[in-house]
Chains A and B, each alone.
Chain A
Amino acid sequence: MLKIFRDLLRFNLEFAIGTLIVSIIVGLSVLSFFSPYPPEDIYVVAPDVPPSWEYWLGTTSRGQDVFWQMTAALRNTLLFGIAVAAISRVISLTIGLVSGYMGGMTDRVLMSINDTFIIIPLFPILVLFYFVMRDSMSWALLALIMAALGWAYDARLIRSVAMSLRTREFTSQCIFSGMSPRQIMTREHLPYVLPIVFSTTLNNMNWSIGMEVTLSVLGFTDINTPTIGSMLYWANQHTALVAGVWWWIALPVIAVMMLFIGLYLLATALNEYIDPRSRLSRMGGAA
C-alpha cells in the first residue's frame, strides 16, 4: 500500500500535484484548531483591513480575520464533503454490489430506481427541502439529505464491476463451497471494488462541496456555520466587491477552486492506476 503510494508520487505527476494541493488544504484546516479567535464570532478584529503583516490575508467587513476564518471554513467544508461521501458510499456500495451480483429482476428494479436518481434535477429538490425546513436546517441534516440523493452515479459504476466479478471462476467456487450471497459480496467482491470506491469518493466530495457552496451562497443553508459557501454569502451580503474588499471574496474562491482541482487530479490519477490499459500505455507498452 505504502509502496504504491510512493510510486504514484514519483511517477504520476497528476497524483503528486493533487496530493500537494490537498495536503496544503488539509494542513490549513488543521490550523483552524489553533485559531486565536472563535470562528463563529464577529467583530473580533478591526474590519476591512487589507492584507498586511498583522492580518496576513486582511479582515472582513464583519471584523473577522480572513486567514483564520478561512481555515475554519475549509475544515467545515472538507468535513461536509467527507460526511456526504461516507454515507452515500454505504448506499451506493450496497445497491451496486447487490444489483451486480443478483442480476435479473433485482438488478432491473434497482437500476431503474438508480437511473431515476441520476436523472432527477437535485437542486430544486434541495431548495424545496431548505424551504420547508428553514431555520431547523443544520449542517448534519444537509449532509444526510445530500447523501440520500447523491449515490446513484457511483452505484452504477460499482454494479458494472460487480457484474464482471460474478462471471469469474472464484465466484463459482465460493457458491459451490456454500457461501451465502451476503458473504460472497462482503468478503470476496468488496475488496475488488474498493479502489473504485476510493476514486468515486473523491469525485463525490467534489460534487457535494460544490453543491454546498452553491446553496450557502444563495443563503439556503445554515449560514452561521463558517464554510466556504457561507463566507462568500456574507461577503456578497456586504457587497464586498463593490466596497473594494476583494480579499474577502478572492481568497475563499481561490481556495475552493484549488480544492476542486486537487481532489479531481487525485481521482483521475487513481482511476488511471486502476485501469490496466492506461497503466500499460503509461509504461510505454501498448499504443
Chain B
Amino acid sequence: MKTYAIYLAKRLLQFVLVVFIGINLTYVISHATPIDPVEQTISALTSFGNTSPEAIETMRESLRELYGMSGTPVEQYLSFWSRIVVGDFGPSLSAFPTPVSELILRALPWTIGLLVVATVLAWLLGNLLGGLAGYYRKNRLLKAMGLIAMGLHPMPYYVVAFVLLVVFGFMWPVLPISGGSGIGVDRGFSFDFVYSVFLHSLLPALSLVLVGLGGWFLGMRALVSNIVTEDYVVYAELGGVDRRRILGSYVMRNALVPQVTGLAMSLGAIFTGAIITEEVFGYPGIGSLLVDAVHAGDYSLVLGITSVSIVAVSLAVLVIDLLYPLLDPRVQVE
C-alpha cells in the first residue's frame, strides 16, 4: 500500500507540473509577444466607423481590465492564475455577454463524447487485431490488415477526415457530413435525437478510429511477436495449454501494459486530432469553437479554450495513470 501511495504522489506531482508548465506557456505566448491583443481588438471594433478618442480610451481601459493586462507584470501573472483556478475567463467578445466558461461547458460534452468513444474503440480494436496479427503470423487477412494499418498510421488527422468528407459528402452521400445533430430534431432525450447524434458522429468518429487504429495495431503486433518467443510462452505451448488461453492471459495481458502507458502518452495528440476532426465536420465541440473564436478575434475565448484543453487532457492522463496499477500489480509490490 505504501508503494501505491508513492506512485500516487508521483503521478499527482506530474499532473501539477503539466498544468503549471502548460498554463505558463499560454501566459508567455499571450503576453510576451510584440502584438497587443487589446490594440488588435480596438482596431477590429473601430474599423466600422468613427469613434471618439475618449470612447477609445475608455474602451482600452476596460479591455485591459478584462484581458488581465492592467497593472505590473507580477500582478498580471497572479491575476492570470487566479482566473484559471476559478475557471473565469471573462465574457466572450464574439458572443457578448455570454461568459467564456459557459460556451466551453456547452461544447465540452460533444468533444468528450466523441473522444472517449473513438479512443476506446480504436484502442480496443487496434490491440485486439494487433495481438492476433502478432500471434497468428501466417494469416493472410491479418497480414493485409497490417499493410492497411501501415498506410493509415502516418496520416495526419486532417487528411483522413478530409478524404472521408469528400468520399461520403460528394461521391457517395449517405451520411451527414456536418453538425452534431439534425437541424429539425428537438434537443431532448428522445429516440430521434439520439439516433441523429449517432448518425452525425459516425464520420468524425470513423476518421479518429481509422488514424488511431493503425498505431495501436502496429505497436501491439510488435510487442506480441516479441513476447511469443519468450521461454514461458514456449513452455505453455509445449505443456498443451489452450492456444486461446495463451494468447489471452499469457501474451496479450503482458503486452497491454506498455500499451496503456502509450495511451496516456498519446492522449494529447489524440485530443489535437479530435478538435481538428471536429472542425472538418462542423461538429459542435471545442475544436469548432476554437477555430470560430480565432476567426472572430475573440481573445478571451481562445485563451480559455487553450487553458481548459491543457487541464482537461492532463486530468484524463491522471485518471489513466491512477487506473494503471489495476493492470500492472507490480506498481503496488515494488
Interface residues of A (CB under 8 A from B): 112-113, 115-125, 127-134, 136, 153, 206, 209-211, 213-214, 217-218, 220, 232, 241, 249, 253, 256-257, 260-261, 263-265, 268, 277, 286-287
* Other A-B pairs, 9, CB within 8 Å; known A120-B25, A121-B268, A132-B30: A112-B14, A116-B18, A122-B268, A125-B22, A136-B34, A211-B156, A218-B279, A260-B156, A277-B226
Contact A120 B14 (CB under 8 A): no
Contact A113 B21 (CB under 8 A): yes
A261 CA to B291 CA, complexed, in Å: 28
- Which residues of the partner chain A approach B314 to less than 8 Å between Cβ atoms? 119-120
- Which residues of the partner chain B approach A136 to less than 8 Å between Cβ atoms? 34-35
Contact A133 B35 (CB under 8 A): yes
- Which residues of the partner chain A approach B305 to less than 8 Å between Cβ atoms? 124
A133 CA to B299 CA, complexed, in Å: 12
Contact B159 A206 (CB under 8 A): no
Contact B14 A128 (CB under 8 A): no
Contact A214 B30 (CB under 8 A): no
Interface residues of B (CB under 8 A from A): 13-14, 17-18, 21-22, 25-26, 29-30, 33-35, 37, 40, 150-151, 153-159, 162-163, 166, 170, 225-226, 228-229, 264-265, 267-269, 271-272, 275-276, 279, 290-291, 294, 299, 302-303, 305-306, 309-310, 313-314, 317
- Are A122 and B272 CB-contacts (below 8 A) given A131-B294, A253-B163, A287-B225? yes
| Closest CB in chain A relative to B202 CB, distance in Å | 20
| Closest CB in chain A relative to B300 CB, distance in Å | 11
Supply 23 A–B pairs (Cβ within 8 Å), ascending by A: A115-B14, A116-B17, A116-B18, A116-B21, A119-B264, A119-B314, A120-B18, A120-B268, A121-B269, A122-B269, A122-B272, A123-B275, A124-B272, A128-B29, A128-B30, A130-B294, A132-B30, A134-B40, A210-B159, A256-B159, A264-B153, A264-B154, A265-B150
Interface secondary structure of A, over-half rule: helix
- Which residues of the partner chain B approach A113 to less than 8 Å between Cβ atoms? 17, 21
The 9 closest A-B pairs by CB, nearest first: A210-B156, A264-B154, A123-B272, A124-B306, A214-B158, A260-B154, A121-B268, A121-B271, A132-B33
Contact B302 A287 (CB under 8 A): no
Contact A124 B275 (CB under 8 A): yes
Partner among B21, B33, B159, B303 whose Cβ is within 8 Å of the Cβ of A257: B159
- Which residues of the partner chain A approach B317 to less than 8 Å between Cβ atoms? 119
Contact B302 A116 (CB under 8 A): no
Across the two chains, which residue of chain A brings its CB closest to B156? A210
- Are A217 and B158 CB-contacts (below 8 A) given A124-B275, A131-B299? yes
